[in-house]
Amino acid sequence: MPNPRIIRFDRNARLEAWEDFPAGEIVSGTPKQNGLVLFEDKPRGLSAGVWEQGANESRWIDYPVNEFMTVLEGEVVIVEQDRTVSVKAGESFIIPKGLRCRWTQAGHVRKFFVIFEDASGARNAGPLRTIKVDPGVPLAPSAPPAAEMLLSPVPVQHTHDLFTDATGQLNIGIWDTTGYHRKLINFPRHELMCLLEGSVEFCDETGAVQRFTAGDTFFVPMGTPNSWKSEGYLKKIFVIFQPGA
């Protein structure tokens, strides 16, 4: 089988009609939805892609999945039992599995998503909250790549973890780095990256290069052969899925 490849997410991708939401889940608005799955690891319950729906309001639900989202168009308001959280175009957020909430949107919404449908039965530790991603959150020093993996001086890196699911496989946060060049490896995890600042080039085993800059979102499947080369400062949101043993 061919090696996996990095997937660039296109906010204007042509979507397909998906099955309507069950009538019992919608208080008002349209049950119709469209979407496109750009990556799926079905055995592990992981999927990522693009989704859209018109104005609607859900009933109270215990959110059934762990989900990271970036709103591309419109506004989502998550109603919790003691507060509401508004997420507008250009902003990202996380809903942990099990959160008691209502999803509301006054108009059309389009988003990128990463969903982990955890079937283990493990429960996220409370109190559960909608987590709105703050790109300016203070970061703490983190370990750089091993020196033997580098083709450049060791970079200085920082991170801030926003969410780890009950299984420990899904980790979401903010990360930054000074410029560096890493050797070709088979990528050891699934990862969605949303670049906030800077740019990076990936080179595969054939010599083909993909370049991403601030504002780009892309997915690197586990096992993808690639090297990393960033010339200057880079900052990203990361959504990492590291399968358990």
Q: What is the CATH number of domain 7-132?
A: 2.60.120.10
Residue 83: predicted pLDDT: 97
80 and 58 in contact (C-beta within 8 Å)? no
Taking only the tens place, the pLDDT of each residue in 45-95 is 999 999 999 999 999 999 999 999 999 999 999 999 999 999 999 999 999
Residues 66, 9: Cα–Cα separation, whole Å = 20
Residues 153, 141: Cα–Cα separation, whole Å = 17
125 and 79 in contact (C-beta within 8 Å)? no
Instruction: Provide the pLDDT confidence category of residue 2 given band limits of 50, 70 and 90.
Output: confident
Residue given tokens 């001086």 in the structure block: 153
207, 216, 188: which is closest to 70 by C-alpha?
Answer: 216
Instruction: Provide the pLDDT confidence category of residue 245 given band limits of 50, 70 and 90.
Output: low
138 burial level (CB within 10 Å; 0-12, 13-18, 19+): exposed
Which whole-number Å values give the CA distances from 45 to 53, 115, 120, in the listed order?
23, 8, 10
Q: Which residues contact 222 (CB under 8 A, 6 or more apart)?
A: 4, 41, 187, 188, 189, 190, 241, 243
31, β-bridge pairs: none
Residue 39: predicted pLDDT: 98
Instruction: Say whether pLDDT at 1 is over 80.
Output: no
Instruction: Say whether pLDDT at 23 is over 90.
Output: no
163 and 94 in contact (C-beta within 8 Å)? yes
Which whole-number Å values give the CA distances from 164 to 97, 145, 158, 169, 193, in the listed order?
11, 21, 17, 7, 16
* Tokens representing residue 218 in the block: 């892309």
Structural domain boundaries of the chain? 7-132, 140-241
Helix, strand, or coil (residue 243): coil
Helix, strand, or coil (residue 25): helix
Query: 140-241 sits in which CATH class?
Result: mainly beta
Taking only the tens place, the pLDDT of each residue in 126-170 is 899 999 999 999 999 999 999 999 999 999 999 999 999 999 999
Residue 244: predicted pLDDT: 87
* Fold agreement between 7-132 and 140-241: yes
242, 192, 183: which is closest to 212 by C-alpha?
Answer: 192
Q: Which residues contact 228 (CB under 8 A, 6 or more apart)?
A: 180, 181, 182, 200, 201, 202
Determine the average pLDDT of the residues in 11-18.
98
Taking only the tens place, the pLDDT of each residue in 195-234 is 999 999 999 999 999 999 999 999 999 999 999 999 999 9
